[in-house]
């Protein structure tokens, strides 16, 4: 499979791989070359891949999307940090990527409340005109 990892400002990686393991909301999954075409929303976690020579590599990966189409796998994420030290990568995911995700959720909740409040005010204005 040809794995291509895309970040907002660059292509982080393009490499032939024999196996990919990633994490979605419902848990970890593994893709092998003959896996059916597949799309998954990735959560912050450890992403790994194995080259045809058997070398395993790791990334700390932020929220993203994985698309497998034929023999190509595309991963688009806002942040990814490669590394060989799994302990360091796990700490990075816990301390930075998941915290950013929580802050983003809080921001989205605030924006939703603002939108609902704005809609209520508009509906009240419309009701006064009748």
**% of the chain surpassing 90 pLDDT:** 51
Q: What are phi and psi of 11, to 5 degrees?
A: -95, 115
Whole domain around residue 8: which residue ranges? 2-129
Give the tens place of pLDDT for each residue, 74-95: 999 988 888 888 888 877 777 7
**% of the chain surpassing 70 pLDDT:** 85
The domain total for the chain is 1
* CATH code, domain carrying 50: 2.60.15.10
């Amino acid at each position: 499979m040809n794995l291509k990892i895309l970040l907002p400002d660059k292509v982080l990686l393009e490499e032939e791989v024999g196996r990919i393991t990633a994490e979605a909301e419902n848990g970890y999954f593994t893709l092998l070359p003959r896996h059916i075409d597949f799309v998954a929303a990735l959560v912050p976690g450890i992403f790994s891949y194995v080259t045809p020579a058997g070398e395993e590599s790791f990334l700390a990966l932020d929220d993203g999307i994985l698309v497998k189409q034929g023999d190509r796998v595309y991963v688009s994420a806002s942040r990814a940090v490669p590394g060989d030290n799994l302990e360091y990568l796990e700490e990075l995911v816990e301390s930075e990527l998941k915290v950013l995700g929580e802050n983003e959720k809080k921001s989205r909740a605030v924006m939703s409340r603002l939108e609902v409040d704005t809609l209520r005010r508009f509906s009240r204005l419309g009701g006064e005109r009748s």
